[in-house]
Amino acid sequence: MTRKPAQRPAFRPPGNQATSRSRSGTFDPVRQDLLVLRHRPFLFLFLARTVSLFGNAIAPVALAFAVLGLPGGSATDLGLILGARAVAQIAFLLFGGVLADRLPRHRLMVGADVAAGLAQGGAALLFVGHIASLGPLMALSALNGAASALFLPASQGLLPQVIPAGRLQPANALLRMSMNAANLGGATVSAVLVATIGPGWSLAADAATFLVSAALLAGVRVQERATPGWKTTVIGDLRSGWREFASRQWLWVIVVQFSVGIACYSGAVQVLGPAVGKDHLGGAPVWAAILTANSAGLVAGSLLAIRLRPRYPMRAATYATFGFAAPPLLLAVSAAPAWLVGASMFVNGLCTTVFGVLWDTGLQTHVPREALSRVSSYDALGSFCLGPVGIVVAGPLAEAVGTSTALVVFGVTLAASSAVTVMVPSVRHLRAAPSEADVPVPS
């Protein structure tokens, strides 16, 4: 029996824009973009991601203080626990992409959220019961990382099933806005929770957010895809996903650029930045304010990205990456005032979100949906593989050539990688998909 072709979601007639007009009767494009929240599957996905990301922002502070508060707890122990999560995430990332292209993505995300919630809840129980030790905590952290590896590719591939192609960019911008706002609010709440109920119970609160997210995702209703089933092998699926990835020059060129960029930015801002803040910018309070400016830029970038409609999205996205070079170069100038460094971090945050929205939309509109999760897993693996290298190399490089020179090296490398990437013809000339024209949201 042949499968019936998938039907497109119902649309309001193009001429009927009553829902997006203001009381004065004029067409309001911003309001039209926000109407994607009235689409029930996307609303459930949006709420699930917001709740889960809010919990993710609580976890780092809670886990750090919980581990350091153990008898004999040290930064080395914390590093081993976080390292176990990172290794498991990298190890299962490609497998997560294969599963997400084989199975119903929203159900895989529900399972991943439940697994992560149980892992985080188990860690909370160990701390609250005063029976925590390094081995079990590393195992639970690895389970959490594996769950994340299953969730990420599925979430990237699910959105085109939930929202019409013409509304993907505002939908991606709203998801980025929820992520950035949740990170900003969660970091603040985490300090209050750790101070009031303790780090163990704070981890329990994070575990609850995973379960709430799973319940919301269970309410997402999408039309089932025609999936390849289990006739192909995992290795075969990985090879076909790699062919989809490698056959698009614009895609792998930007992934290589981001791999270098994340390594440089991590080493400059995460490792050397606090040292510059301590010596030249006024200490921890000023550095915290600079990081807050970056978070504010992330949120502002979401507002800009909702309405940004470049004809050549990857060209515009790569132009945005030039904003990544400003913070390291300003940090290299010891006389640079804190407000100027903060302004550069605000611009950096804005550019980060604009790039992310254009990039996600480009993947979702130019990569076949049946391979989207596998391509996304290669994207994530390639983009972040050099990040730890930048963190490890930053300190020795600063000791060898000086902090200012090391920051200049990082900043110039960031700018040079952007310049080389934007010169690649396939990056410059990739057009926005025809479906990205403004269309009404589904009824």
Model confidence, pTM: 0.73
pLDDT band at 2 (very low <50, low <70, confident <90, very high): very low
> 38-231 belongs to which homologous superfamily?
MFS general substrate transporter like domains (1.20.1250.20)
Q: 241-432: what CATH class? A: mainly alpha
**Would you give the end-to-end CA distance of the chain in angstroms?**
31
Mind listing the pLDDT tens digit for each residue in 130-166?
888 888 999 998 999 899 888 888 887 888 877 776 6
Query: Can you give the residue ranges of every domain in the chain?
Result: 38-231, 241-432
Please provide the DSSP assignment of 62-118 as one string: HHHHHHHTSTT--HHHHHHHHHHHHHHHHHHHHHHHHHHHHS-HHHHHHHHHHHHHH
Out of 36-40, 103-107, 224-228, 319-323, least confident range: 224-228
- Whether 241-432 and 38-231 are alike in CATH topology: the answer is yes
Band (pLDDT 50/70/90 cuts) for residue 6 is very low
At residue 358, what are phi and psi to the nearest 5 degrees?
A: -65, -35
Q: Is pLDDT above 80 for 127?
A: yes
Can you tell me the distance from the alpha carbon of 239 to that of 255, in angstroms, rounded to the nearest whole number?
18
**Closest to 331 measured CA to CA, from 289, 397, 261, 278:** 278
Predicted confidence (pLDDT) per residue in 289-306, tens digit: 887 788 888 888 888 887
